[in-house]
Amino acid sequence: MTELMLPLLEKAAPDARVITVSSGGMYTAPLNKDLQYTSGKFDGVEQYGRNKRVQVALTEKWAEMHKDKGIGFYSMHPGWAETPGVAKSLPAFSKSLSGKLRSSEEGADTVIWLALQPKEKLVSGAFYFDRAEAPKHLKFAGTGGSHAAIDSIVDDLRSLSALSS
């Protein structure tokens, strides 16, 4: 969908932005080429982390591919927030942390901040958390280096969505 919007984004340059809401859940997941989880027993939480990792790596790739077009690409983690999605998909987590999670508004804070900051203050391709750039990999998580697989994932995503490469 983002790639289909590129002509419109180019029209909005030099202040066009794509802000992708990823998650801290990606920290445990290296980039994995098995987008449809064909190998192993399906685990929804694991697949969530994998998809969120793809978003971070895709953002990095888009920033590199479109660096001279006046479009900024950013991924971010909103923090853990009490939302209908969390209540439905992670009921035990949601119940045990009830009242301690962020509100939806607090979760949206960095998205809005990324939309409004002067672009010169932001780094295209970077990952953000709480209004600051954050690492894409944690020490000893075994995810570093996995982004090398992004080119073949981009090809697969284009083919799945019938986009030409």
Ligand X SMILES: NC(=O)c1ccc[n+]([C@@H]2O[C@H](COP(=O)([O-])OP(=O)(O)OC[C@H]3O[C@@H](n4cnc5c(N)ncnc54)[C@H](OP(=O)(O)O)[C@@H]3O)[C@@H](O)[C@H]2O)c1
Catalytic residues: 48
**72 touches 125 (CB < 8 A):** no
Piece of the chain touching ligand X by CB under 6 A; list 38-46, 73-81, 127-135, 141-149: 73-81
Shorter beta-carbon distance to ligand X: residue 70 or 141: 141
Strand order in 127-129's β-sheet?
A: 16-21, 71-77, 127-129, 132-134
Q: Dihedral of the CA atoms 2, 79, 122, 127 (nearest 10)?
A: -60
Shorter beta-carbon distance to ligand X: residue 70 or 101: 101
Q: Is 99 in the site for ligand X (CB under 6 A)?
A: no
Give every CB contact of residue 97 below 8 A, 6+ residues apart in sequence.
80
Size of the site for ligand X (CB under 6 A): 11
Piece of the chain touching ligand X by CB under 6 A; list 79-87, 113-121, 146-154, 155-163: 79-87
Minimum gap (Å) between residue 53 Cβ and ligand X: 12
* Binding residue for ligand X, selected from 6, 35, 86, 141, defined by CB under 6 A: 86
- Using CB atoms, what's the residue nearest to ligand X? 85
Q: Which residue has the tokens 């920033």?
A: 63
Q: Is 65 in the site for ligand X (CB under 6 A)?
A: no
Shorter beta-carbon distance to ligand X: residue 83 or 146: 83
C-alpha to C-alpha distance for 44 and 24, rounded to whole angstroms: 15
20: left (phi over 0), alpha (psi -120 to 50) or beta: beta
User: What's the Cα-to-Cα distance from 20 to each of 3, 41, 79, 88, 154, rounded to whole Å?
Assistant: 13, 28, 14, 22, 16
Q: Is 80 in the site for ligand X (CB under 6 A)?
A: yes
Piece of the chain touching ligand X by CB under 6 A; list 81-89, 123-131, 137-145, 146-154: 81-89
Binding site for ligand X (CB under 6 A): 21, 23, 77-78, 80-81, 83-86, 107
